């Protein structure tokens, strides 16, 4: 989980992601941020995230991001 928070902080250091229940709804992440995060996750974990999975619901919390990674075979 801490690895995910580190990536989020790298993209948007001004926000406290641990204090948010929905990053998109709270305005912490926009579509450009999500694409940046996808790129970082793909590079870090050597995976390819399907375009159909690049939806706000998969990036609204750290747990949702971890779920997406697990779907792509990453063990965290």
With respect to residue 43, please indicate whether it lies within any of the assigned structural domains. Answer: yes
Q: What percent of the chain has pLDDT over 90?
A: 99
For position 31, which CATH number holds?
A: 1.10.1200.10
* Residue 48 belongs to domain spanning: 2-71
**Band of pLDDT at residue 76, cut at 50, 70 and 90:** confident
With respect to residue 13, please indicate whether it lies within any of the assigned structural domains. Answer: yes
**In angstroms, what CA-CA distances link 63 with 36, 39, 68, 76?**
18, 18, 9, 11
User: First CA to last CA across the chain, in angstroms?
Assistant: 8
With respect to residue 76, please indicate whether it lies within any of the assigned structural domains. Answer: no
Looking at the structure of the chain, the number of domains it has is 1
With respect to residue 27, please indicate whether it lies within any of the assigned structural domains. Answer: yes
Predicted TM-score (pTM) of this structure:
0.95
With respect to residue 35, please indicate whether it lies within any of the assigned structural domains. Answer: yes
Cα dihedral: 27, 17, 5, 47 (round 10): -30
CA distance linking residue 2 with residue 6, whole number of Å:
6
With respect to residue 64, please indicate whether it lies within any of the assigned structural domains. Answer: yes
Stretch 43-70: mean pLDDT, rounded?
A: 98
Write down the residue that tokens 């949702």 correspond to. Answer: 64
């Amino acid at each position: 989980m801490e690895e995910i928070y580190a990536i989020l902080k790298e993209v948007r250091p001004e926000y406290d992601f641990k204090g948010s229940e929905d990053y998109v709804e709270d305005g912490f992440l926009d579509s450009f941020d999500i694409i940046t995060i996808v790129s970082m996750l793909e590079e870090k974990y050597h995976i390819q995230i399907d375009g159909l999975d690049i939806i706000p619901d998969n990036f609204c919390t750290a747990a949702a991001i971890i779920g997406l990674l697990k779907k792509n075979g990453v063990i965290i």
